Chains A and B, each alone.
Chain A
Amino acid sequence: MVNVVVIALILFAVWTGWRVFRVDSMVRASFSLMLSFIAVGGVGVVLSMPYIGVATVFMMAVEMMAMAIFMVAFMMNPAGLNPMMMVHQHKFSVGAGVLAWLGLSTAVLSAELPSAPVTSEQRVVFDLGIELLGPSMLIFETAGVTLLATMVGAVILSSREGRYGHADHGSRPPGLAEGGDPAGRVPDEGGGHHHHHHGGH
């Protein structure tokens, strides 16, 4: 029974993962990816990892909402009213994907996998809490600080204000001498200014 549910969820995760790159609508692509994550979260719940499984659902719902907003903002024709195919090095990518899949599968099938299932009397959520705030506290706190740094970095990167002026004007540092050329390298012409090229359509 557990096996059937796990297999169904995994097949769903793989199918929705595949749909991400096959649908025309960007919103559908984002939420397909979310469904793939939810299915993996479901596997977690079935395989007695409830906290991680449910937290994956929560986190991915928020992340994919943000993802969908970015998709609609940056892609032309986000609703997929025109069929779209925006790919490069397609054959190479397919090859690499298939190769990775076959290679990993061969490794899985040829390896001798350990077998030591979780027992039902283990308090897995309790164990996780003790682990996070006990032996692995340093790792956990480092992750927290990393996330804080990410937040600061993301705000600075995405804001318009640069250190030397507006980002869309190409902020240039002041000269070394009064009124001199900007410090640092002199940029070549054609760094992208002339490609007013939105979404490559």
Chain B
Amino acid sequence: MIWLLLTVPVTLAVGVWLAATFDRLAPALWGARAGGPVAALRDGALLLRRQTVRTEAPDDLNRRLAPVVYLALAAIGLSVVPVTHAAPIESPVGIVIWGSCEALTIIAVFLHGWSPNAPFPLIGAYRYAAIALPVMLPSMFVLIAAALPAESLSVTAIVESQREVWNVVRQPLGLALFLLVGLTLTQRGPFDFADGADIAGGTSAEDSGAGRALWQLARLAMLTAFSAMAAALFLGGPLGPGLPGPVWLWLKTAAIMALTVLLGHGIARTTPGRMLTLLWIVALPVSFLHLAVSGGLALW
């Protein structure tokens, strides 16, 4: 029990470093220069050597809370993922807990943009809320669809239901839609409406020093949690021949993480208004269709 809980900080720490390194390697595949495995530590050190600026009349409480909440949500989300035959937090409603972490993430990002009391971060916060709220709908449909073959809301049961065949085979569309959710949760690439270049870095425009480092760390932690959850829901989590369960889970997590980072670096971000239309007109009906098909398959 205790060692299961200990896997959470360890996975997060390794995951954050791995995600940061992927982030610096990925540009190479899209044809730009890449950094090595120490590059992420260097960038982190640079931030830690600098002052954290306090803006004029900020919402100090929320400014401090936002990154802490984001990090805590990543940790809670990660702890409902089964490492072997059990999760650190074993709950009969594991994926609902994950869903709550997703919804609260929107609030953490909103507060991060709201609290510095500056226009560009606020625009970023509003954009993010406007995009992330409709993303919650496909997210819920995907999670429900993944729970259907298992006939349970427990993530452990969902993993167990993939002993014969992984969910990615039964529900390939589910993984694609879930990646979309992951890009939103971790503020990446085509769904990074919180930090656009057109608003000078958006919610992070006023971040500096250790505060900035903490926020970036929380983003990477959320990427780790998301990748682990995707691995559990679609790639059978710790199931696999030969190697021990946790190793399989970590390998699959790294694979999903690499895919997410790669997509984040190489897909263009459209305008918020257009993305909103696409989400309501395309993503929502597609995810509904996905749920209906998955339900039919589960009954059949």
Contact = CB atoms under 8 A, between A and B. Distances in A.
Contacts of B93: 50-51, 54, 125
Interface stretch (B46-54, B95-103, B180-188, B203-211): B95-103
B43 interface: no
Interface in A21-78: 25, 27-28, 31, 34, 50-51, 54-55, 57-58, 61-62, 64-66, 68-69
Contacts, number: 62
A28 B57 CA distance: 15
A27 B57 contact: no
Nearest to B140: A58
Across the A-B interface, give the 6 residue pairs with the lowest CB-CB distance, nearest first. A61-B103, A58-B100, A57-B100, A54-B96, A61-B104, A50-B93
Given A51-B96, A54-B100, A65 B153 contact: no
Contacts of B103: 57-58, 61-62, 65
B126 interface: yes
Given A25-B59, A125-B92, A58 B129 contact: no
Nearest to A125: B92
B104 A81 contact: no
Interface stretch (B15-23, B31-39, B106-114, B262-270): B106-114
27 contacts: A27-B59, A27-B62, A27-B111, A28-B59, A28-B61, A28-B62, A31-B111, A34-B107, A50-B92, A50-B93, A50-B96, A51-B153, A54-B91, A54-B99, A58-B96, A58-B99, A62-B133, A64-B107, A65-B106, A65-B107, A65-B133, A68-B107, A69-B129, A79-B117, A81-B57, A125-B92, A125-B93
B59 A125 contact: no
Interface in B55-110: 57, 59, 61-62, 91-93, 96-97, 99-100, 103-104, 106-107, 110
A61 to B, nearest CB: 4
Contacts of B173: none
Contact of A125 (B99, B133, B153): B153
- Chain B interface main SS type: helix
B97 A54 contact: yes
- Name the residue in B93, B126, B153 with the highest tally of chain A Cβ atoms < 10 Å from its Cβ: B93
Nearest to A63: B103
Contact of B133 (A25, A28, A66): A66
A129 to B, nearest CB: 9
Contacts of B61: 28
Contacts of A62: 103, 106, 133, 136
A50 B100 CA distance: 12
Interface in A105-150: 123, 125
Contacts of B59: 25, 27-28, 79
B114 A27 contact: yes
A61 B62 contact: no
A79 B107 CA distance: 16
A171 B136 CA distance: 35
Interface string B110-146: 1100100100000000100100010010000000000
Contact of A65 (B57, B62, B110): B110
Contacts of B106: 61-62, 65
